[in-house]
Structure 1
Amino acid sequence: MKAIKCLKYGGSENLVLVHTEKPSPKHNEVLIKIQATSVTASDVLIRRLNEPVLTRLILQLIFGFGKPRNPIFGMVSSGIVVGKGKGVSSFNLGDEVFAYGSISPTKRRFGSYAEYICLPEDWNIALKPTGISHTEAAAIPYGGLLASHLLSKTPINKGDKVLIYGASGSIGTMAIQLAKDAGAEVTSVCSSKNFGLVKSLGSDEVIDYTAKNAIDQLETYKYVLDAVGNSKSSLLKEKCKKMIMPTGKYISIDQGVPLTPKSAFLNLKNLVEKGKVKAVIDRIYPLEKMSEAHDYVENGHKKGNVIITV
Structure 2
Amino acid sequence: MKAAILTQYGSPRNLQVTEVEQPQVGANEVLVKVHAASINDWDWCIVKGSPFYIRLLCGLLKPKVRIAGVDIAGRVEAVGDAVKTFQPGDTVYGDLSDCGLGGFAEYASIPEASLSRMPAKADFIQAAAIPHAATLALQGLRDVGQLEPTDTLLINGAGGGVGTIGLQIARSLGVGHVVGVDHASKLDMMRSLGYDEVIDYTQCDFTSAGKTYDLILDTKTNCFPLKYLKALKPNGSYVTVGGQTLRLIQTLLLGRAVRMFSTKKLRIVALKPNKGLGDISAMIDNNEITPITEGPYPLEDIAEAVQRFGDGLHQGKLIISMDTGERLQ
- Common fold by TM > 0.5: yes
Aligned counterparts, 1:62-211, within 5 A: 62-102=57-97, 107-123=98-114, 125-151=115-141, 152-184=143-175, 185-211=177-203
Aligned to 1:31: 31
* Partner Cα separation in structure 2 for residue 34 and residue 26 of structure 1: 17
- Quick check: 2:179–2:197 contact (8 Å CA) kept in 1? yes
- 2:231 aligned with 1:243, yes or no? yes
Deviations 1:229-286 (A, max 9, x none): 3xx449xx97554111111011222355632254411111111111111111123210
Aligned to 1:13: 13
> Which AA in structure 1 matches 2:54?
L
Aligned to 1:299: 311
Deviations 1:126-145 (A, max 9, x none): 22111221011101112112
Distance 1:168 1:218, change over 3 A: farther
Distance 1:226 1:86, change over 3 A: same
In structure 1, stretches of 5+ residues that fail to align are: none
TM-score (norm 2): 0.84
* Partner Cα separation in structure 2 for residue 91 and residue 111 of structure 1: 19
* Partner Cα separation in structure 2 for residue 189 and residue 213 of structure 1: 9
* Partner Cα separation in structure 1 for residue 292 and residue 308 of structure 2: 16
> Which AA in structure 2 matches 1:221?
Y
* Partner Cα separation in structure 1 for residue 269 and residue 14 of structure 2: 28
- Quick check: 2:135–2:274 contact (8 Å CA) kept in 1? no
Distance 1:309 1:207, change over 3 A: same
3-state SS of paired residue (1:65): coil
- Quick check: 2:121–2:284 contact (8 Å CA) kept in 1? no
> Which AA in structure 2 matches 1:120?
P
- Quick check: 2:7–2:66 contact (8 Å CA) kept in 1? yes
Report the CA distance between 1:191 and its aligned residue: 2.9
* Partner Cα separation in structure 1 for residue 151 and residue 300 of structure 2: 45
> Which AA in structure 1 matches 2:309?
V
In structure 2, stretches of 5+ residues that fail to align are: 243-247, 249-267, 323-329
Q: Percent of aligned positions with the same letter in both sequences?
A: 31
> Which AA in structure 1 matches 2:7?
L
Distance 1:62 1:225, change over 3 A: same
Deviations 1:106-158 (A, max 9, x none): x42211110101112122x1221112210111011121122123222111111
* Partner Cα separation in structure 1 for residue 137 and residue 109 of structure 2: 26
Distance 1:240 1:205, change over 3 A: farther
- Quick check: 1:224–1:241 contact (8 Å CA) kept in 2? no
- Quick check: 1:158–1:182 contact (8 Å CA) kept in 2? yes
Deviates more, 1:210-219 or 1:163-172: 210-219
- Quick check: 2:75–2:92 contact (8 Å CA) kept in 1? yes
- Quick check: 1:160–1:183 contact (8 Å CA) kept in 2? no
Aligned pair count reads 296
Deviations 1:194-252 (A, max 9, x none): 233223333222222222586775521111111123xx449xx9755411111101122
* Partner Cα separation in structure 1 for residue 105 and residue 273 of structure 2: 24
* Partner Cα separation in structure 1 for residue 312 and residue 234 of structure 2: 33
Deviations 1:145-198 (A, max 9, x none): 221232221111112001111100111112211122222221111234323322
- Quick check: 2:30–2:109 contact (8 Å CA) kept in 1? yes
3-state SS of paired residue (1:122): helix
Deviates more, 1:293-302 or 1:28-37: 293-302
Aligned to 2:257: none
TM-score (norm 1): 0.89
Report the CA distance between 1:290 and its aligned residue: 0.8
Aligned counterparts, 1:206-285, within 5 A: 206-211=198-203, 218-229=210-221, 232-233=222-223, 240-254=228-242, 255=248, 256=268, 258-285=270-297
- Quick check: 2:42–2:70 contact (8 Å CA) kept in 1? no
> Which AA in structure 2 matches 1:260?
K
Deviations 1:46-67 (A, max 9, x none): 211243xxxx0x2212111111
- Quick check: 2:164–2:292 contact (8 Å CA) kept in 1? yes
> Which AA in structure 2 matches 1:141?
P
